[in-house]
Structure 1
Amino acid sequence: MGKTDADKSKARWTFNTEIDPPVQRVPELVMLGSDELRKAAPLYEHQHPGCYEFVFIERGKASWELEGNLFETYAGDLFHSRPGEKHSGGFNAIEPCKFWWLIIEAPHRHAWLGLPPEETRLISDAIERLLRVKQIGLFAVQSFQKLKDAISSESPLRSVAVRSALLDTLLALIQSGARTDTIAHDLLHHYDALIARMEREPEWRPNVDELAMTAGVSSSHFYRTFQAYTGEAPTAFSERLRVKEACRQLTDTEHSVTDIAYRLGYASSQHFATVFKRFIGCTPSQWRVSGSARDNSSRSRG
């Protein structure tokens, strides 16, 4: 993650081998950080030769620019850049959000993270197949926190703990969704259909019992398997889709905030604003203003 001009706050934490002593016997770890931005912060074009950067959004929303393309990320989303790729915040800024970033050497050295060559190759292939933006769910927060705790430890086994936590974090990033092999195929088809309907009808607000009945399974089994499949609980997943649609309507239409709230099934504009701010980090009105500013910036650059 490139340096920003924003003042550091108590919410910001970083481990950076350009400043901090590297973890002994874990040279692959270059940087780990977390931050919670209350207001947009500059992030200009930069690159990491020989390294991957992973950015995970814990809360809110942020956009990223890479090779002329703009990528939007929301809570539970992972964005990554490959070694040497120039990238920046969307329009050179990071929106208010809570996020983690991890910079590691690309898997190439002998005994990378202490792994045999075949396992190193498998991890390298998995990273290469990653989508630029991938919804991995909020389980990854635990892995990032575990890695942060290991780095902050003063234990004689610190390097072992960091290496283990780093592998755990990488697996959380590249293997999310892999647990679906324990979910019946016909159930996965039901879930895909339900997700498609949630996207098509964001105002639809079924409870877990209704969703489970639609899928033909018990509520407890539905909750557990849906969360394993998507990385989020059913209500959080549908709420995130609803907020994503709200972002689109705030940007692409002239409907009032109140109209959008009712269109999406919120009981009041106040409730809508509360939910929206929890996911995005700002109010719907603030989002609309910032969207107009981004559009104007894009046109001036064009």
Structure 2
Amino acid sequence: MTTGKDRSGRWEYEEAKANPNVVQVPELLMLGYDHFTEALRLSHHEHDGAFEFVLIESGKVTWEVNGQHYETRAGEMFHTRPNEPHRARMDYMEPCSIWWMIVKMPSADSSWLGLSENEADAVIGKLHSLPRVLRANAQLKISFRRLQHALQTEAQPWLKLKVRHFVLDLILNMTEPPPDLHVPEDLQAGLRSIVENIRRNPEKHWSNRDIAASIGVSESHFYRLFRQCFGQSPSSFVERLRVEYAAQLLMHTDTPITSLALSLDFKTSQHFSTVFKKVTGITPSEWRAAHLMPRNE
């Protein structure tokens, strides 16, 4: 679960705390919106008998499920299946804005979102086959906002009807593939190759001008393409990978923090510490103290 103080713009609905005479849609366990301006702790947790869906509105988060890491950026959706333990990578979410929804699995003795048994089985089957991360279509964000608005303003009988409608609308839209990005395939391939090179060599000095020239576009056009495809600026992407690389070095070596910062192309150790804390929630020295692995003599 999340802990921390810097959660401006938070809104949450929880079925267990709601007036049972108001909503009466037990399938919707929780709905929320969060805006984190600083990294926030999110350790292992799971949802008993329920799916969780998270739409990244801005920023980026890397999730860990069953030892696998899943990177999500603005405009992407992440989900977990019932009873799957999951957390944010390194137990910290980066600054971001997210919508999230927790939906209970159907039980044997009740209908589910007003669907027939066959219809509910078909929808659940679709959800179990969804990829862990998918690119969201524009309708998802709209449906989240409409569902929030209904919970805040509507009265019966429209409230129950609208809640069911928007929850089902969200679920159905997740199963619909979004339209392709309007980026030529050769440029998409070039960008993917660049990203893999950066992942392999985070310590290298990466210049937007040089990268743009390597795929035959202007620097400004490269910047727009990168944001469109990856939901963040090239510099933010590089900084994040450097922090993840630095976190491993801090755990397994005794390299001085200043030397580590300069080797990763940060201009000063102070800048490195600022970026590191933004991503992980703690300073490099605090990270090392908490995670340093014993070395074999």
State the TM-score, normalizing by the size of structure 1: 0.66
What amino acid is the match of 1:261? A
Q: Name which of structure 1's ranges 222-231 and 265-274 shifts more when overlaid on structure 2.
A: 222-231
What amino acid is the match of 2:130? R
Q: Name which of structure 1's ranges 262-271 and 248-257 shifts more when overlaid on structure 2.
A: 248-257
Partner of 1:228: 228
Cα deviation digits, residues 124-171 of structure 1 (max 9, x gap): 53652323xx4969x999679836852663256766776676578668
Shift in CA distance, 212/60, structure 1 to aligned 2, threshold 3 Å: closer
Shift in CA distance, 38/98, structure 1 to aligned 2, threshold 3 Å: closer
What amino acid is the match of 2:261? A
Shift in CA distance, 172/111, structure 1 to aligned 2, threshold 3 Å: closer
Partner of 1:14: 12
Secondary structure of the structure 1 residue equivalent to 2:17: coil
Shift in CA distance, 224/40, structure 1 to aligned 2, threshold 3 Å: closer
Maintained 8 Å contact 2:212/2:219: yes
Distance 1:171 1:263 in 2: 48
Distance 1:192 1:148 in 2: 36
1:60-139 superposed matches below 5 A: 69-71=66-68, 76=73, 80-83=79-82, 85-87=83-85, 94-95=91-92, 100=98, 101-106=100-105, 112=113, 121=122, 125=126, 128-131=129-132, 134=133
Maintained 8 Å contact 1:112/1:120: no
Maintained 8 Å contact 1:44/1:88: yes
Across the two proteins, how many residue pairs are aligned to each other? 280
Cα deviation digits, residues 222-260 of structure 1 (max 9, x gap): 333322322223222222222222222222332222122
Shift in CA distance, 188/61, structure 1 to aligned 2, threshold 3 Å: closer
- Structure 2, unaligned stretches of length 5 or more? none
What amino acid is the match of 2:149? A
Q: Report how far residue 24 of structure 1 moved.
A: 3.9
Q: Report how far residue 261 of structure 1 moved.
A: 0.9
- Structure 1, unaligned stretches of length 5 or more? 297-302
Shift in CA distance, 45/182, structure 1 to aligned 2, threshold 3 Å: closer
Maintained 8 Å contact 1:113/1:163: yes
Shift in CA distance, 151/71, structure 1 to aligned 2, threshold 3 Å: farther
Q: Name which of structure 1's ranges 270-279 and 15-24 shifts more when overlaid on structure 2.
A: 15-24
The higher radius of gyration belongs to 2
Distance 1:221 1:44 in 2: 40
Shift in CA distance, 228/7, structure 1 to aligned 2, threshold 3 Å: closer
Identity score, percent? 28
Distance 1:252 1:135 in 2: 34
Cα deviation digits, residues 154-196 of structure 1 (max 9, x gap): 25676677667657866897779x5545321111110111111
Distance 2:48 2:30 in 1: 11
